Amino acid sequence: MWEKSKILVIGGTGLLGKLLVEASVNSGHPTYALVRKASLSCPDQSNLVESFKHLGVHILYGELEDYESVVKAIKLVDVVISSVGHSQIFNQIKIIDAIKEAGNVKRFFPSDFETDVDRTTVVKPGRSFFSAKAQIRRAIEAERIAHTFVSCNCFAGYFLPTLVQFNQTLTSPPRDKVTIYGDGNAKAIINKEEDIAAYTIRAVDDPTTLNKVLYVNPPDNIVSMNDLVTLWENKIGKTLEKTYFPEEELLKQIQELPTPINAILSMIHAIFCEG
């Protein structure tokens, strides 16, 4: 009987990471999670790790700064999935080195869960995020490591709860007024995080995704901001007052506002103005 690959998730206690761990287990893969011991001091993290254990996940303690712990963990599995955050993107070089040293990994999925960094134009400062991920791609290719890059585009849980308003006082989509960037017609791809995790795990043993970019682009998930507003208006039975925020003004604010607001706005420009 065909045996499913053993999967190690690095960054498994993060937003997407925990869903990758759960999707791996639910798909019948022997699943391992590399966890920092320091994270156990946080009740939420500790409870999450305990829930992993109940699912049958093999918990391994280590961190990217401890190279030997990474090598040791990688030697136990067939596939490595990294879901580390932006602050640790360059630290994935250590994962690449560890994979080379271990010599047993059939596939590496780096933390590439975003729009395709090789095909998307982003203005500064958001460009630095994409540049970092592109450099990791090139390092993987240079070392001839078997890989899959997952281009899942936008996380629904990040953009939809406030309908892309990024107003700190909002906890749900607006019911009176809404700001639309540009003309609102640029198309974006918005995916539920659970679906991103599910498609990633399905790609693990799929030979057609080897050394390729996997695009998670369900046709019904390709929408403009105008489309999103219309869907919301239909749901609540009310027409919102719309303010269109010109692209030129958005670019001006990106240059003038401090970090991290300008970085967020540069992503909004790339997605909802450029498309």
**Tally of CB atoms within 10 A around 85:** 12
Q: In the structure encoding, which two tokens stand for residue 171, read together? A: 């906890």
Nearest to 171 by CA among 180, 160, 179, 182: 160
Residue corresponding to tokens 């030997």: 68
For residue 75, give every residue at least 6 positions away whose Cβ sits within 8 Å of its Cβ, in sequence order, or none.
102, 104
Helices 127-142 and 92-102, axial angle in degrees (round to 10): 10
How distant is the alpha carbon of residue 95 from its chain centre?
A: 18
The answer to whether the beta carbons of residues 217 and 189 sit under 8 Å apart is yes
221-257 as b/e: b if 16+ CB within 10 A: bebbbeebbeebbeeeeeebeeeebebeebeeebeee
Active site residues per annotation: 133
Spatial distance between the Cα atoms of 73 and 42, rounded to a whole number of angstroms: 23
Q: What is the DSSP string of 40-81?
A: GGSHHHHHHHHHHHHHT-EEEE--TT-HHHHHHHHTT-SEEE
